[in-house]
Structure 1
């Protein structure tokens, strides 16, 4: 054979190359991955995460129906919830119980697979509940007074990202696998993915970049309350940005400058974005070499 292509639906793979140059590649992607795990149970955790996403995909039509009924304040919501979840645990006797049931879709469907530390680190959410209630109300009032930032609008944005993610997640499984590996254990000059192409995922990248750019106002404001005792008091990073009003007037790229790893509510997100790539995709000014996988 003149060329060799390594394939895996779960793990990063050696990029396509001439067979003579890759003849020493005799270890399978699975074995290479096992040698790079962070801990002894990392592979088990990865397997559970993928299984959870597959279960979410299988139930997504039912979950999405519950979400749509919730958004439209439908009288059929409770009936639909109790078709999907045990009536014993989700009695839906009042509004708070209904909200809890809808939230469990996010917990079981996404958090447990993609961001389990949200569930493991209870102090994170508990810390938010302990923030100054007056300042939290001020934040809610601010969001609800600006088009595009009402809580309902931000929630709709999140639900849309969920829906888009379920359609594409199988192409992203090798990227998910990297989260369970030691830092810097992969050489991206040599290894890439055979489950997707750039064209398959670029629109999702663009949409998520835009969505996060709007949603970041919440963790940024929570940082303001925690560290500066005022939801409206910004970290002095950008010239002429001293309030949330100034912040939401910034470009998306500039908003990401406030995603600091020195302040807990943005550090926890562990967000990595590329503004140049987003702009190139948005203006259709980007190419990707399918062999080298260089954008």
Structure 2
């Protein structure tokens, strides 16, 4: 069902027909008036209450012939950008509703499957994430004795007798939920790389990995970077509804099925996406030392030995370099590089505030000027959302590498895990 709302821009009086595809989730929207470019945002609530909230425009009763523009809104998939209104007939003939387009692109079964996965993540972020954040706070502050009772209520496998137990339980809780919105192929890459770290330890490289842990900063480093990952996860939870169209397309492997000239996303503003992309990219660059060092060890037998075409001296000096130069140490084809695909030009353009955004077409022009050269990257808002989602995948992967090194550090100290096999999780409030 499509719910139509006629609104009038507060600034120029332009009348816009907003058409909301009523589905499983609340529909946030953030657009600009096509005439005056004034910001119009709000939410069409569906889940707990049927309510319409809007800023920058007001509900307006008018005849259909008075409408100036129309736009579709949905969280399940991208939707038509704001378009000049001509008539009801032209509106109907201009394309499917967002729901019908979803059925056409992915089919009913996949649509139901992925909306259920997204629903589980929304349940996690609204009911469980705040508890996990509180548990992590106790863990970071050395108060693991307070974790045993609440974690046992979640699973009887979570026996917490030392910091290693606490780290394993909290990581599992977080990753189990994040995995519901990640592609299966990404999860396989995470598992394969984790297994390769274990094999390196078993094959006699323990002292090299121990040196890597010491060079990174040990427990202080692990806690500091884990806190940053939690902060990014919190940001993702806060704006997750904005990512649902992208998650649906990526989970179903249908990125290339959308005509980006006609369809876009209105669930999030360019400003919010730009900030989220920049923050996730910076954290990726902070954690890039780990896969670089592991590549050195895996392919050259020494964490300080870089590829032949690299001019890096050793890992210690490498870690002191500006972040932007570190990506050059990631060699294509090496084991721990494979899950990492980042766009340096976009990051630099954002960092230097050199970009232009057209709110009507949703086109972005990023300009990366470096050493007298200029690299221009043109993309749509939907493409930037894809990059944000890809950064979430990369950070999830880097978090797995970080966690595996942390486990080795605890085991080196003589700690042994007491957590048993997990049969079920009770994620309700206890």
TM-score normalized with structure 1 length: 0.84
Matches within 5 A, 1:90-105: 90-105=158-173
Q: CA RMSD in A?
A: 2.9
Q: Which residue of 1 aligns with 2:276?
A: 204
1:122-271 paired onto structure 2 within 5 Å: 122-131=191-200, 132-144=205-217, 150-179=221-250, 180-182=252-254, 184-238=256-310, 240-269=311-340, 271=341
Distance in 1 between residues matched to 2:277 and 2:149, nearest whole Å: 32
Q: Which residue of 2 aligns with 1:50?
A: 118
When you count helix as a share of all residues, which structure comes out higher?
1
- More deviation in 157-166 or 209-218? 157-166
Give the conservation status (yes or no) of the 8 Å contact 2:81–2:264.
yes
Residues in 2 aligned to 1:236 and 1:40: alpha-carbon distance in whole angstroms: 51
Rounded to whole Å, the distance in 2 between the matches of 1:224 and 1:22 is 58
List gaps (5 residues or longer) in structure 2.
1-66, 365-430
CA deviation vs aligned residue, 1:147-168 (integer Å, no higher than 9, x gap): xx82222222212211221111
**Greater per-residue strand proportion:** 2
- CA displacement at 1:143 relative to structure 2: 0.6
CA displacement at 1:267 relative to structure 2: 1.1
Q: How many residues align?
A: 288
Q: Deviations over 1:65-85 (max 9, x none)?
A: 011111111155424643651
Q: 1:8 aligns with which of 49, 59, 74?
A: 74
Give the Cα separation in 1 of the matches to 2:157 and 2:248. Answer: 33
Larger radius of gyration: 2
Give the direction of change, closer, same or farther, for the CA distance of 1:23–1:103 in structure 2 (3 Å limit).
Answer: same
Deviates more, 1:280-289 or 1:155-164: 280-289
Match of 2:160, SS state, is: coil
Superposed displacement of residue 5, structure 1: 0.7
Task: Work out the CA distance in 1 between the residues paired with 2:289 and 2:337.
Answer: 10
Deviations 1:253-294, CA, capped at 9 Å, x for gaps: 33234445412322124x333x34333433444342221111
Aligned residue number for residue 78 of structure 1 = 147
Once residues 139 and 108 of structure 1 are traced to their aligned partners in structure 2, the CA distance between those partners, rounded to angstroms, is 28
Name the residue aligned to 2:367.
Answer: none
- CA displacement, residues 168-204 of structure 1 (integer Å, 9 cap, x when unaligned): 1111111212212335222323321011111222221
Q: Any unmatched runs of 5+ in structure 1?
A: none
Task: Evaluate the alpha carbon distance shift between residue 65 and residue 229 of structure 1 in structure 2; reply closer, same or farther with a 3 A threshold.
Answer: same
Is the CA contact 2:148–2:158 (under 8 Å) kept in the aligned structure 1?
Answer: no
Question: CA offsets per residue over residues 207-243 of structure 1, 9 Å max, x none?
Answer: 11111111111122222221112122223454x2243
Change in 2 beyond 3 A, CA 1:84/1:217: farther
Distance 1:100 1:286 in 2: 42
Distance 1:135 1:200, change over 3 A: same
Deviation at 1:95, TM superposition (A): 3.4
Equivalence for 1:68: 137
Residues 104-140 of structure 1: per-residue CA shift (max 9 Å, x gap): 2222231333355465564332222111222211211
For the residue of structure 1 that corresponds to 2:302, the secondary structure is coil
User: Do the aligned residues in 2 keep the contact of 1:224 with 1:234 (CA within 8 Å)?
Assistant: yes
Q: Is the 8 A contact 1:197 1:290 kept in 2?
A: no
Specify the alignment match of 1:27 in structure 2.
96
SS in 2 for 1:90: coil
Higher relative contact order (CA 8 A, sep 6+): 1
